[in-house]
Amino acid sequence: MKEKETIIISLGGAIVVPDMPNFEFVTAFRDIILNWIKKDKKFVIIVGGGKTCRRYIEALKNCIEATSEELDWMGIYTTRLNAEFVRLSFGNSAYNQIVTDPHTIEDFNGDIIIGAGWRPGCSTDTDAVLVAKELNAKKIINISNIDYVYDSDPKINPNAIKFENISWSKYRSFISSKWTPGLNTPFDPIASELAEKEGMEVAFMSGSNLSDLENYLNGNSFIGTTIK
């Protein structure tokens, strides 16, 4: 029997909980994943913290003079809350607990595995890359609230340049080289460095139009950015 292909998805917290939990998106996303399970695919979905993460980090900063590690742990727990929301939305179709340590991924069975933040020093993007490395996967799908990767924030800079295809070295030239808790960037610097080292490809697309996810899975063109 042919082994099922495993698809790695880094699912941004900003699309799962943009302000309130986005059950419309999660329901539509779940239905697509379940449909692809019938086509002999497996999925590992690592869920981020998004705005919830940044809100808690800012709140903690206002309470105490928190260390970077404390702020990271605050953010990590928000990713786990978001991940449980996604996992439970799958009912019995997903594995019955979330994976947090990427190095234990082979201990988890099933066609749908949901993951969350692991330890301080990076975002869930890095966790997705580490999972891909453990499973010898070379492609990751990044779903968030942005349609393309830009060289700067298009909400601030109307002249921001968007990319459909870009190299890791070019991408890394215009993002921070250092991780800070709650950093808001398409793909965190630690994950980017590791993905480049491992020769991985990451496809970025917006969760607001899930037909692009379908197009990508079908091997067709999609609206978004590919970094490799």
- At 184 the pLDDT is 86
Would you give per-residue pLDDT tens digits along the chain (228 residues)? 567 899 999 999 999 999 999 999 999 999 999 999 999 999 999 999 999 999 999 999 999 999 999 999 999 999 999 999 999 999 999 999 999 999 999 999 999 999 999 999 999 999 999 999 999 999 999 999 999 999 998 889 999 999 999 999 999 999 998 999 988 889 999 999 999 999 999 999 999 999 999 999 999 999 999 999
In whole angstroms, what is the distance from residue 217 CA to residue 102 CA? 23
Q: Maximum CA pair distance of the chain?
A: 56
Please, which residues have CB within 8 angstroms of residue 188's CB and are 6 or more apart in sequence? 122, 123, 125, 126, 179
Please, which residues have CB within 8 angstroms of residue 70's CB and are 6 or more apart in sequence? 60, 64
- At 155 the pLDDT is 85
Q: Say which CATH number the domain at 133 has.
A: 3.40.1160.10
In whole angstroms, what is the distance from residue 145 CA to residue 161 CA? 17
In contact, 161 and 150? CB cutoff 8 Å: yes
Number of structural domains (the chain) is 1
Q: Which of 95, 97, 98 is nearest to 109 (CA)?
A: 95
Q: Quick count: other Cβ atoms within 10 Å of Cβ 202? A: 26
In contact, 47 and 82? CB cutoff 8 Å: yes
By residue count, the chain amounts to 228
Q: How many CA atoms lie within 13 A of 174 on its CB side?
A: 14
Specify the 3-state DSSP secondary structure of 150: strand
Task: Give the residue numbers spanning the domain of 175.
Answer: 5-227
Structure tokens at 199: 């020769």
